[in-house]
Amino acid sequence: MFRFSAILSVIAALCLVTGAASGQSPAAAPAPATPPTWSIGETVVQVDNERRTAFSGSLAPLPPGTTAWRLDLSDDIVLSGSPDFRDKTIAEGIDPVFSPDGRLVAYCGFPGVGRDLQIMVIRADGSGKYPLTNIAGAPCAPAWSPDGTRIAFNATSNKGPVVMVLDLKEAKILTIARGTDPRWSPNGKKLLFIQSPGADGQPFAISIANSDGTDQKKIVDVRALVPAASWSPDGASVVYTNDVHHRSAIFRVNLDGTNPEEIAGDKNLEMYFPSISPDGKQLVVVTGDDNSATLQLIDLDTHKARTLSAGTRGEVHWVKSH
């Protein structure tokens, strides 16, 4: 059963949901003359993956009926680019993601000895660890809604992996669709997720649905070692991993499945978990394999890449500047 007691007070204490400011709102500032630029504030990554056993939420989705395996908690959640510019281990677990304001990190971990895997939350400084769920099915792959009030995730069920949404304000969990690795649209109205037909040799599918589970649609089939997808900044298309001509590549496609185009590729390295910067100019991906994976930043104009940090799964907190 979901942990109802004390969750709202804990979330408030962790500064997850901020109330509106009191008093009269000041006059709106004039729009800037030039578009803002975006830089990387911090990164959070999952490391030491070579000591991890296979797990449903960490890489490829499991087919229906498969039981989630347990996690070796030698995996660390590591924060990079903090004010002192030193890497800091803040928790043990997998699949870390920033809250929209960058102050919290959600991840999958064990609340205690003998406890089942759950969605956890912790401050970016490593304090205030707290379990957000208390359900069966090894919930994992958390994703924050843009307003920070909901977390989507996947869990196993008797029908296979399913996408669920935890409403932090209402303390409720809603089952959305069969699938894994959910991602919110920029306006928070839709979810993107990966589906497997469960038949050998069949491709994975990238699908979308409204945040209440209605109007589910398949966008495109993919044949990737690690299928993953995310939204473009304008919400009009998605980017995803695919394997073409025996190499890994990142594609972008319209929501109706039309006009797929390759935006990045590497003939030597696998590319996982694509995510585009808010201005659409940079791409963050994990490249390599379980033994030597790194988080890479790719300039989509020049196609030049630089390494951000080592890790098999990671996320960037983007900071707006002018």
State the DSSP H helix or E strand holding residue 189, giving kind and residue range, or none if neither.
none
Say if 104 falls within a structural domain: yes
- Residue 101: the pLDDT is 94
Say if 112 falls within a structural domain: yes
State yes or no: pLDDT of 1 exceeds 50. no
| Tokens found for residue 79 | 């924060």
Say if 103 falls within a structural domain: yes
Bridge partners, 118 (sequence order): 109
- Residue 16: the pLDDT is 47
- Residue 292: the pLDDT is 81
Say if 29 falls within a structural domain: no
CATH code of residue 99? 2.120.10.30
pLDDT in tens, 41-59: 899 999 875 544 433 344 3
Name the DSSP class of 188: S
* Residue whose entry in the numeric block shows the structure tokens 């935006």: 263
Say how many domains are in the chain.
1
Say if 8 falls within a structural domain: no
* Percentage of the residues of the chain whose pLDDT score is greater than 90: 59
Separation CA 139–CA 154 (nearest Å): 6
pLDDT in tens, 148-181: 999 999 999 888 899 999 999 999 999 999 999 9
**Looking at this protein, which amino acid is placed at residue 129?**
K
144-149: list long-range contacts, CB under 8 Å, 24+ apart.
144/97, 144/98, 144/99, 144/100, 144/106, 144/184, 145/100, 145/184, 145/188, 145/211, 146/100, 146/184, 146/186, 146/187, 146/188, 147/100, 147/188, 148/16, 148/17, 148/99, 148/100, 148/101, 149/16, 149/17
Global pTM value: 0.83
Say if 45 falls within a structural domain: yes
Say if 250 falls within a structural domain: yes
Range of the domain at 193: 39-317
State yes or no: pLDDT of 295 exceeds 60. yes
Helices (H) and strands (E) in the chain, counts: 1, 24
- Residue 55: the pLDDT is 39
| Measured CA distances, 152 to 18, 24, 204, 294 (Å) | 19, 34, 20, 25
State yes or no: pLDDT of 234 exceeds 90. yes
| 267 CB-near residues (< 8 Å, 6+ apart) | 247
- Residue 220: the pLDDT is 95
- Mean pLDDT of the chain, nearest integer: 83
pLDDT in tens, 8-41: 555 655 654 434 333 444 555 565 567 788 989 8
8 burial class (0-12, 13-18, 19+ CB within 10 angstroms)?
A: middle
Say if 11 falls within a structural domain: no
